[in-house]
Structure 1
Amino acid sequence: MNKSALHPLCGFTIIRTLIAIKNLDIVQPLSSGFTIIELLVVMVITSLLFGVGITNFNEYNRRQTVAQAAETIKNNLRLAQSKAQSGEKDCSVGVCDGDGNGKCLTTSKTLNGWNVDLPSKTVYGVCQDKTFGSSSFSLPAGITLTAAPATTVIFFPLSSAATATTICVSKYTYFYKLSVTALGEIKDGGFVANITDCQN
C-alpha cells in the first residue's frame, strides 16, 4: 500500500523537475561567451584586415622610396643649375687659374658649366679641361636610373641653357619621370605607368 502510494508522488516530482530543467534551458542560454564558429569568423576577418593593412603599408613605403630618390636627383640638378647660372668657378692655380689667391681674372679659364653625372651620382664644375667642386649624392639601395639621350646633364654658365635629357627613376614596379629641357627647365613628371611612358 505504501509502495503504491509513493508511485504517483515520485512520478509527479520527476515530471516537475524535468519541466523546471526545460524552462531553465529556455530562459538561460547554454553559454554566455562566443561560439567556436564566431571566434573563427572574427579571426579570419582580423587576419584579412591585417594582411591588407600590411600590404598597403609596404606598397606605400616602396612608392616613397622611389619618390625620395627622384627628389634627391631633382635637388642636385637644381644645385648644379644654380652654380652655373651664377658663374661659380674655382680660380685656384691649376684649376680655372687666377691671381694665385683664388681670385678670377680675365685671363682665367672659361667656365664650361656645371655637370650632374647620373651614373656616378656626382655634381662638379668644369673649366675647359679641369674639373672642380665635386660632390656626390646617394640614392636608396636598388634604385635604377636610366637617362637618355644624355647621362650627364650640363648646365651652361650665366644662362638657363642645358643639355636636354629624360631621367627615369625606378624600383619594384614604380617609375618616376624627371626631365631637363634645352632651356634648362627641370620638370617633374611624377609617377608613370611603365618604363616606356617614363622614357617618352
Structure 2
Amino acid sequence: MILFQGQELGLRSLEPADAGLLVQWLSDPGVLEFYEGRDRPHDMDKVLENFYPDEDEHGLTRCIIEYHSQAIGYLQFYPIDEEELGIYGYQEYAGRIYGMDQFIGETEYWNRGLGSQLIRETVAYLIEQKNASKIVMDPQAWNARALRVYEKNGFVKKKLLEKHEWHEGEYRDCWLIEYDRKANSAELAIRKK
C-alpha cells in the first residue's frame, strides 16, 4: 500500500519481498554505524524476527522509502505508548504523539537532501493523515548530521536522555526531539499553498 508519493520520494508499506533489502542494508557497516550498530549485522533470521513479527505491535507501521520508485531505505512510525510517554515526560499531554525512526540504506543516496525531504513529507503525512499533534524521535546525541536534518525541518531538542540506547557495546546518550504541530503551524500553511 502506498502511503504517499511525491515527485521524487514515496513511502509504501513493507512487504515480505522486501526482507532481502533489509538484510542487505542492515549488514552494511556504513548503515549500521548509525542504525543498530556495526556489531549487530542482520541476517535473514534476524530481519524476519525484528521486522516481520507474528503480532501487531500497537500500531507500528513499517515502510519502505522509494526514490523514483527504487527502494532506498526504511521508515517506521507509531503512536507513542504509555511507557514512552513516561520516559519522555508526556504523561499529562492530551494530544496525539507519534514516534518515527528511519534510515536510508542505499548509501549513494546520502548527502543529497533526501533525508530532509523524507522528514518533511513524513511529518506532513502524520499530521494530515494521522492527526498527530507532536512527532518525536530519539537520535543518538553524537549523530550531528541527523540532528541537523531534523532541526532544519522543525524538530527541537527537548530533553537529553542519558544512557538511553545500547549501541556498539555501550549505552549512548540520545536527544528527545519534538516536532510540535502548533509551533510549526505557519510553516505548514505555507507548504500547503
Give the TM bin, normalised by the shorter chain: under 0.3
Query: Which is helix-richer, 1 or 2?
Result: 1
Higher RCO, Cα 8 Å, sep 6+: 2
Q: What is the TM-score normalised by the length of structure 2?
A: 0.24
Task: Select the structure of larger CA radius of gyration.
Answer: 1
